[in-house]
């Protein structure tokens, strides 16, 4: 089975987010990017499918932030090929535009299965995977926790619902699946293997095709929520705060 | 004269013969927006033999009920095709979906195939003249965007819990318009083979009076015993947010949130949990919530009753000590 995994880079939330002077974008100067969490799971899911059923895995990313690092990591983890789409504006692309760019590239020689994270933390004007399926006219299921390929020409996915419930859905290929999580945590590769991939493997580059997207939503302003709008914040040393917590619990009869 | 063109549609989610609670939140807000736009509020219900559910949607001016055996089980393709066909004919101004498993799939598909704008994870919707202005939550709640939508038709996904559900409840019986599916559903490229119930056997966290919940902030599996000990001292159990479950550190049965369990304990202690809406959905009705997080802006503090902006590893040892001192030692 030929699988393409779409990887997107998102702001690293460990860093404090700063809003640009324009007020409508993040200040990218100090922003670090890392691989979107559910894309990481999508890659793991693709590698699991390849190990079980054979085939090829191509990792594809828009050139943004540390995309190259993510692509070399994908190669080190077991992807057969990595493709970087260049010519992306520095501020990145909206999700609809990103879906249109991936769609224009993938339309040329469609794979059997396209996997991508179901969502990313910087989604605002859509979710890439679902939008891509809509644009390509392919069947789509998102929010999956496992994807298997029991027979030719189809995949069997588990789609999550609230309360721990899931639906098992058989999907005809070609298809797009929006992965929430893989059945196992994304595999770890040591830095040495990534360094080796940098030396021995290549990322193919191609110019992102220009695409027309309908006028999307317009950001008027970005802002941070006020901290602690509800909680009463406790103060003091750890010992003092621990005592306060115990007092609260006592007053509610939760400890003796 | 039809007022379509300004109507607000709400996609009605249902599973195992019950309307999802979140749908009433959308209907309540939809009622208000439809009033501001001068349009009607329409609930769109698709399924097979679920007409009785329409009776609970009385807040809406009308219910479009599409009955077809091919819609019995939710598939994004089947329900999406029906919605698209109906929307292309009736031209609603706004289509509201939950930011849920079903709603996310549908909104992404319908908006892309129809070429209409979509804004996801909305927590506020305001009508300004003929404009729809929404607040979209990003970066796990660390960032909000005030967004103006353009276009005659717009799709939104709305965060569960953003609006009260009471306003979406009504005793009145709505006008129900029953339709056959506007599209053929016999050639869908996907089919539901079975529903998988949650695994049983482990601790039932929905019954625990006290829950010690751990998130990404727990950092390493080695740190779990700290939470276990605390839970033991409080007479409760340990549960977790998604990242911890995905690491395989706790079984799926311990997951609280959108795709996990909904819990309402007497006391919920959130440790190193940022408070993404996916998690909050599962614990917001806890009787008492205390949150510990090193980031004072973490959205969990919007949900918690008390907050501690500190490193949990500084707090926990002394908290454990305090509690141990109160627990009578066995004699």
For chain A, the maximum distance between any two Cα atoms, rounded to a whole number of angstroms, is: 69
Residues of chain B positioned with their CB less than 8 A from the CB of A121: 138-140
Å from B60 to nearest chain A CA? 25
B244 to chain A nearest CA, in Å?
10
- B234 with B142, same domain? no
The answer as to whether B1 is a domain residue is: no
From chain B residues 153-182, the ones with a CB under 8 A of any chain A CB are none
A-chain CB neighbours of B281 within 8 Å are 162
Q: Are B38 and B144 contained in the same domain? A: yes
Q: What average pLDDT score do residues A46-67 get?
A: 96
The verdict on residue B198 lying in a domain is no
Based on the fold, state whether residues B238 and B137 are members of the same structural domain: no
pLDDT 10s digits, B190-212: 999 999 987 766 688 988 999 99
- The interface predicted TM-score (ipTM) is 0.92
- Measured distance CA(A239)–CA(A176) in Å, rounded: 52
Closest Cα in chain B, distance from residue A37 (Å): 9
At residue A190, φ and ψ (nearest 5 deg) are -65, 150
Tell me if chain A has a CB within 8 Å of the CB of B302: yes
Is B108 part of any domain? yes
Euclidean distance between CA atoms A233 and B277, whole angstroms: 21
Nearest Cβ partner of A241 from B248, B267, B315?
B315
Q: Establish if B189 belongs to a structural domain.
A: no
Whether residue B313 lies within 8 A of chain A, CB to CB, comes out as no
Distance CA A32, CA A22 (A): 19
**Substitution target from A225, A233, A240 for chain B, most B beta carbons within 10 A:** A225
Q: Which of A238, A246, A247 to mutate to test the interface with B (most CBs of B within 10 A)?
A: A238
Count other C-beta atoms under 10 Å from residue B69's C-beta: 12
Structural domains in chain B (count): 2
Residue B290 CA: distances (Å) to CA of A242, A254, B171, B227: 11, 13, 37, 14
Which candidate from A227, A241, A255 shows the least CB-CB separation from B301? Answer: A227
Distance CA A62, CA A146 (A): 25
Q: What is the mean pLDDT of residues B318-322?
A: 94
Tens digits of per-residue pLDDT, B8-17?
Answer: 999 999 998 9
**What is the number of other CB atoms lying within 10 angstroms of the CB of residue A220?**
14
Left (φ > 0), alpha (ψ -120 to 50) or beta: where does B49 sit? left
Domain identity same for B224 and B105? no
What is the rounded CA–CA span in Å between residue B132 and residue A24? Answer: 18
How far is residue A115's CA from residue A43's CA, in Å, rounded to a whole number?
Answer: 8
Residue B130 belongs to what domain range?
Answer: 8-180
Give residue-wise pLDDT tens across range A97-156: 999 999 999 999 899 999 999 999 999 999 999 999 999 999 999 999 999 999 899 999
Q: How far is CA A64 from CA A11, A38, B101, in A?
A: 11, 17, 28
Q: How far apart are CA A71 and CA A60, in angstroms?
A: 8
Residues B160 and B223 in one domain: no
CATH number of A2-207: 3.40.50.620
A41 strand-pairing partners: none
Question: Is residue B204 in some structural domain?
Answer: no
Handedness of CA B74, B76, B82, B83 (dihedral sign): positive
CATH number for position B230: 3.40.50.1220
CA dihedral B216, A95, A107, A58 (to 10 degrees): -20
Rounded to an integer, what is the distance from CA A245 to the centroid of its chain? 38
Domain boundary among B180, B200, B234: B180
Instruction: Give the pLDDT mean for A164-174.
Output: 95
User: Residues A62-98: pLDDT tens digits?
Assistant: 999 889 999 999 999 999 999 999 999 877 899 999 9
Predicted pLDDT at B47: 97
- What confidence tens digit (pLDDT) does each residue in B38-92 have? 999 999 999 999 999 999 999 999 999 999 999 999 999 999 999 999 999 999 9
Give the Cα separation of B280 and B300 in Å (integer): 8
Phi and psi at residue A251, to the nearest 5°:
-65, -20
Q: What is the pLDDT of residues A176-211, one digit of tens each?
A: 999 999 999 999 999 999 999 999 999 999 999 999
Contact: A252, B267; criterion CB under 8 Å: yes
Q: Is there a domain that residue B127 lies in?
A: yes
Q: By the CB < 8 Å criterion, does B262 face chain A?
A: yes
Does B129 lie in the same domain as B264? no
Across the interface, do B189 and A171 touch by the CB < 8 Å criterion?
Answer: yes
CA distance A52 to A47: 9
pLDDT at B215 exceeding the cut of 70: yes
Using the Cβ of A14 and the Cβ atoms of chain B, whether some distance falls under 8 Å is answered with no
| CATH 3.40.50.620 boundaries in chain A | 2-207
Best probe of the B interface among A242, A250, A253, by most B CBs < 10 A, is A242
Q: How far is CA B172 from the centre of its chain?
A: 26
Helix (H) or strand (E) holding B121: strand B118-128
Is B203 within 8 Å of B253 (Cβ atoms)?
yes
Residue B327 is predicted with a pLDDT of: 66
Residue B214 lies in a domain: yes
**Cα distance between residue B103 and residue A253, in whole Å:** 41
Q: From the CA of B34, how many Å to the nearest CA of chain A?
A: 20
Nearest CA in chain B to A100: B112
The rounded distance, in Å, linking the Cα atoms of A45 and A144 is 10
Q: Which of B148, B192, B314 sits opposite A217 (nearest CB)?
A: B148
Same domain, B81 and B214: no
A68: burial class by Cβ within 10 Å (0-12, 13-18, 19+)? middle
Asked if residue B93 lies in contact with residue B7, where contact means CB atoms within 8 angstroms, the answer is: yes
Residue B135's φ and ψ, nearest 5 degrees, are -110, 120
Mutation target among A128, A217, A229, A250 for the B interface, most CBs of B within 10 A: A217
Q: Which candidate, A172, A129, A128, A135, places its Cα nearest to that of A150?
A: A172
Say if B3 falls within a structural domain. Answer: no
∠ CA B205-B217-B315, nearest 5°, is 90
Gyration radius of chain B over CA positions: 22
Q: Are B159 and B227 members of one domain?
A: no
Residue B4, pLDDT score = 57
> Is A151 part of the contact surface with chain B (CB cutoff 8 Å)?
no
Let me know: does B253 contact A164? Beta carbons within 8 Å. Answer: yes
| Residue B93 and residue B23 share a domain | yes
Residue A180 distance to chain B (closest CA, Å)? 10
- Where does residue A172 rank: exposed (0-12), middle (13-18), buried (19+ CB within 10 A)? middle
Q: For residue B59, count other CB atoms closer than 10 A to its CB.
A: 21
Q: How far is CA B232 from CA A246, B317, B323, in A?
A: 15, 14, 10
Note whether B150 and B293 are same-domain residues: no
Q: How far apart are CA B286 and CA A94, in angstroms?
A: 37
Q: How many CB pairs under 8 A join A and B?
A: 289
Taking CA atoms, B25 is separated from B30, B124, B158, in Å, by: 8, 12, 9
A214 pLDDT tier (thresholds 50, 70, 90): confident
CA distance linking residue B49 with residue B53, whole number of Å: 9
Alpha-carbon gap, residue A67 to A74, rounded angstroms: 10
Q: What is the CATH number of the domain that holds B132?
A: 3.40.50.620
- Our CA dihedral for B83, B86, B92, B97, rounded to 10 degrees, sits at -10
Locate all alpha helices (DSSP H) within B140-208, ordered by sequence: none
pLDDT of residue A100: 96
């Amino acid at each position: 089975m030929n699988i393409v995994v779409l990887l997107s880079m998102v702001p690293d939330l460990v860093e404090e987010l700063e809003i640009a002077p324009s007020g409508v974008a993040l200040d990218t100067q100090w922003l670090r990017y890392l691989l979107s969490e559910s894309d990481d799971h999508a890659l793991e899911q693709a590698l699991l499918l390849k190990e079980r059923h054979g085939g090829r895995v191509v990792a594809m990313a828009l050139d943004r932030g540390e995309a190259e690092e993510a692509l070399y990591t994908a190669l080190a983890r077991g992807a057969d090929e990595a493709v970087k789409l260049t010519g992306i504006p520095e501020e990145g692309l909206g999700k609809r535009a990103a879906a249109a760019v991936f769609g224009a590239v993938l339309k040329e020689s469609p794979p059997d299965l396209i996997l991508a994270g179901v969502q990313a933390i910087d989604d605002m004007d859509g979710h890439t995977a679902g939008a891509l399926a809509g644009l390509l006219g392919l069947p789509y299921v998102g929010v999956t926790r496992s994807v298997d390929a029991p027979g030719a020409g189809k995949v069997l996915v588990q789609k999550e619902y609230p309360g721990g419930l899931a639906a098992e859905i058989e999907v005809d290929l070609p298809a797009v699946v929006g992965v929430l999580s893989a059945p196992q945590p994304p595999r770890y590769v040591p830095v040495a293997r990534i360094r080796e991939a940098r030396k021995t493997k290549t990322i193919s580059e191609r110019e992102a095709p220009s695409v027309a997207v309908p006028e999307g939503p317009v950001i008027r302003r970005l802002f941070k929520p006020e901290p602690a709008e509800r909680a009463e914040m406790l103060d003091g040393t750890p010992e003092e705060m621990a005592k306060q917590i115990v007092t609260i619990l006592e007053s509610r009869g939760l400890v003796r | 004269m039809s007022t379509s063109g300004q109507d607000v549609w709400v996609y009605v989610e249902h599973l195992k013969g019950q309307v999802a609670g979140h749908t009433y939140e959308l209907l309540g807000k939809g009622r208000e927006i439809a009033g501001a736009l001068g349009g009607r509020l329409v609930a769109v219900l698709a399924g097979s033999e679920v007409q009785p559910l329409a009776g609970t949607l009385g807040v809406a001016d009308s219910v479009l009920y599409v009955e077809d055996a091919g819609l019995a089980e939710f598939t994004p393709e089947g329900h999406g095709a029906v919605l698209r066909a109906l929307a292309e004919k009736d031209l609603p101004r706004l289509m509201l979906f939950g930011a849920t498993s079903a709603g996310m799939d549908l909104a992404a598909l319908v908006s892309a195939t129809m070429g209409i704008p979509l804004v996801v994870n909305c927590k506020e919707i305001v009508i300004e003249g003929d404009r729809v202005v929404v607040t979209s939550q990003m970066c796990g709640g660390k960032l909000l965007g005030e967004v103006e939508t353009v276009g005659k038709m717009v799709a939104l996904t709305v965060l569960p819990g953003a609006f009260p559900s009471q306003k979406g409840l009504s005793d009145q019986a709505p006008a129900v318009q029953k339709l056959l599916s506007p599209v053929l559903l016999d050639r869908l490229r996907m089919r539901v083979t079975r529903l998988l119930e949650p695994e049983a056997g482990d601790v039932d966290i929905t019954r625990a009076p006290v829950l010690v919940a751990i998130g990404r902030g727990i950092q390493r599996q080695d740190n779990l015993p700290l939470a276990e000990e605390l839970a033991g001292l409080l007479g409760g159990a340990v549960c977790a947010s998604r990242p911890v479950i995905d690491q395989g550190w706790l079984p799926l049965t311990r997951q609280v949130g959108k795709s996990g369990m909904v819990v309402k304990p007497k006391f919920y202690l959130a440790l190193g949990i940022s408070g993404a809406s996916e998690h909050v959905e599962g614990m917001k009705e806890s009787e008492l919530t205390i949150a510990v997080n090193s980031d004072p802006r973490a959205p969990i503090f919007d949900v918690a009753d008390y907050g501690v902006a500190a490193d949990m590893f500084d707090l926990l040892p002394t908290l454990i000590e305090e509690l141990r001192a109160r627990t009578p030692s066995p004699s």
